[in-house]
Every structure is written in C-alpha cells, then in structure tokens.
Amino acid sequence: MKLVRWGDKGQEKPGVLGADGQVRDLSGVVEDINGASLSKMPSFDIDGLPLAGDVRLGACVGDVGKLVCVGLNYADHAAEGGWDVPTEPVLFMKATTAISGPTDPVILPPGSEKTDWEVELGVVIGQRAKNLSEGQGADHIAGYCVVNDISERAFQQEMGGQWTKGKSCDTFAPLGPWMVTADEVGDPSGRAIWLEVDGQRMQDGNTDTMIFGPAFIVEYVSRFMTLEPGDVITTGTPPGVGMGRRPQVFLRDGQEMRLGIDGLGEQRLPVRAG
C-alpha cells in the first residue's frame, strides 16, 4: 500500500493511494498514519473508501517521535565532502519540527547562504525495536519513503558543535509523497535515487551503493536508543550535493527541487526566502 496524509497543513487526514492514482480517505479506518496505526493497521477495502479529491499531501507520517539520520552512507558522497568512509554508521538527529510535506515550500532561514539538498531513502519503524540481533531489523520496518535531508552547511560546519543546528530548520525534512509499505517494496536495494534543481540533474545514484543497508541500520540504531512505531530513519545521500560541486552551489529563492526514488514517488519543492 501507499499510505498518505492529506489536507490543510496541521489538519491532515489519513489516506491511501488507489490503483487509479487517486487518494482515498482512510479516516473512517484509522485516526492518522502514525505510530499507533503503523503498529497495527486494520484490514480495509481500498476501492470502498471515499475519494479525497484533488488535495494537498502532507508529510506521509504524523506525530513522528524521532527523526534519526545516517550520515556519509554512500562512499562517493563521503569522498566529495572530504570525509573518510565510515566503518560504522554515523548517527545524528534532526528536529521533528523540520518535517513538512512533499510539495510545501522550503524556507531558507534568515542569514542562510549555504542551504543544500540531500535526497534520501527514509525507513519508517513499524514495531518497537530495542537491542535487535542480526537479522531482526527488516521485521521492524513498516515502510519506506522519500526524504530530503536539507542542510544549511554554514550552520552545520562553520558554527561549532554537532550537525543538528544545520539540519533542523523548519521545512528541512520533507517526507513523502507517500509511505510505501514494506511488503510492497520488498528489497529496497537497486533503486534509482535522484534530485534536480530547476531541471538540472544534481544527484543521480542508486540505493545499491549504500555502505550500510536499511535493515542493518535499524538493528544498529536500536543498540543506542529504543525505536518506536512511527519513528523515521533517513539512510544517507548519494553524491551530487551542492557542497561537493566545484564551484559549490546552494539553493536560492525562487528555485525548485524535484527529487524521487524509484517506486516511492517524487517531491516538488519550491524554495522561498525566509
């Protein structure tokens, strides 16, 4: 299934994408697409649900408790940034207040000169995960989605401390357009992952080149924190970010990002000055 959240910002309702490409209202079945529903989704007949109509899509998961990020998980991206290839996953957190929808404007924060893009595969947790053993990670994944881990590089790298301050500005974590359930995705490897700015292809990668796969990442993260249903993990970005280009290029007011992952949909994100 392709699960969505639709409606005005802050008032999203649960939905599901039908085979005809139309959003159907799921609010008579579950209250929201969140931890409670993902841990135990009732059965329902998609074709019997009412149509939602031509609606805005919000972030595909609501009430996200934790937004955990994996850095430098593509060796060629680490190289473009001048970092060593990690021997274990590099973890950091992104504020959940950064979450926004797949067509919402990305707002450049005041003083930003180096806001950058990072298309990533997002993993949505479906079952509580704590101290998982090898081979258990996949059973705790509810589904997958597209994430743009937007990053203000000056805030991230030039102002001291950890990466969080450059990763957590409002609108810096668009999720969606939908969460595709794990049973429909199957193996998430071998999928094209890409991003364009104003029609120019900037990132053009494949999930095959991840250093650490999604199931292993879930197992690894569960050693350091308990993962709850509805938590989201972003799994790193392929090369082609603005910071890694020569000369460097960053987002400007009036531009548009288009990004996607094969089988998981696309985002279209206008860029606006804050």
240-251 residue pLDDT tens: 999 999 999 999
Question: Is residue 116's pLDDT more than 80?
Answer: yes
Q: pLDDT tier at 24 (50, 70, 90 boundaries)?
A: very high
In a domain, 267, yes or no: yes
| pLDDT for the residue numbered 247 | 95
Tokens of 88: 């274990």
Rounded Cα distance, 155 and 257, in Å:
21
Answer whether 217's CB lies under 8 Å from 111's CB: no
The structural domain count of the chain equals 1
Tokens of 48: 């019997």
Nearest 5°: phi and psi at 153?
Answer: -70, -35
- Among the listed residues 125, 265, 232, 227, the one whose alpha carbon sits nearest the alpha carbon of residue 182: 125
Rounded Cα distance, 228 and 64, in Å:
9
In a domain, 132, yes or no: yes
Considering only residues 152 and 53, tell me which one the structure prediction assigns the higher pLDDT: 152
Q: Note down the domain range covering 246.
A: 59-273
- 3-class SS shares of the chain: helix, strand, coil, % to 5: 20, 30, 50
In a domain, 46, yes or no: no
| pLDDT for the residue numbered 84 | 81
- Read off the CATH number of the domain in which 263 is found: 3.90.850.10
Q: pLDDT tier at 268 (50, 70, 90 boundaries)?
A: very high
Rounded Cα distance, 113 and 175, in Å:
24
In a domain, 48, yes or no: no
- Among the listed residues 150, 162, 93, the one whose alpha carbon sits nearest the alpha carbon of residue 270: 150
Rounded Cα distance, 88 and 98, in Å:
26
Residue with tokens 């509810």: 142
Question: What is the 8-class DSSP label of residue 74?
Answer: B
Residue with tokens 């007949």: 45
In a domain, 95, yes or no: yes
| pLDDT for the residue numbered 82 | 78
Answer whether 131's CB lies under 8 Å from 218's CB: no
Give the tens place of pLDDT for each residue, 60-93: 999 999 999 999 899 877 777 777 888 999 999 9
**59 Cβ contact list (under 8 Å, min separation 6):** 5, 12, 99, 100, 101, 102, 174, 175, 176
Give the mean pLDDT of 167-183: 98
In a domain, 9, yes or no: no
Residue with tokens 């969505």: 4
- Among the listed residues 93, 60, 81, the one whose alpha carbon sits nearest the alpha carbon of residue 237: 81
CB atoms within 10 A of CB 46: 14
| pLDDT for the residue numbered 157 | 87
In a domain, 144, yes or no: yes
In a domain, 143, yes or no: yes
- Among the listed residues 237, 36, 23, the one whose alpha carbon sits nearest the alpha carbon of residue 128: 36
- Among the listed residues 51, 6, 52, 14, the one whose alpha carbon sits nearest the alpha carbon of residue 32: 14
pLDDT above 90 covers a percentage of the chain that reads 90
Answer whether 240's CB lies under 8 Å from 195's CB: yes
| pLDDT for the residue numbered 80 | 77
- Among the listed residues 268, 16, 6, the one whose alpha carbon sits nearest the alpha carbon of residue 146: 268
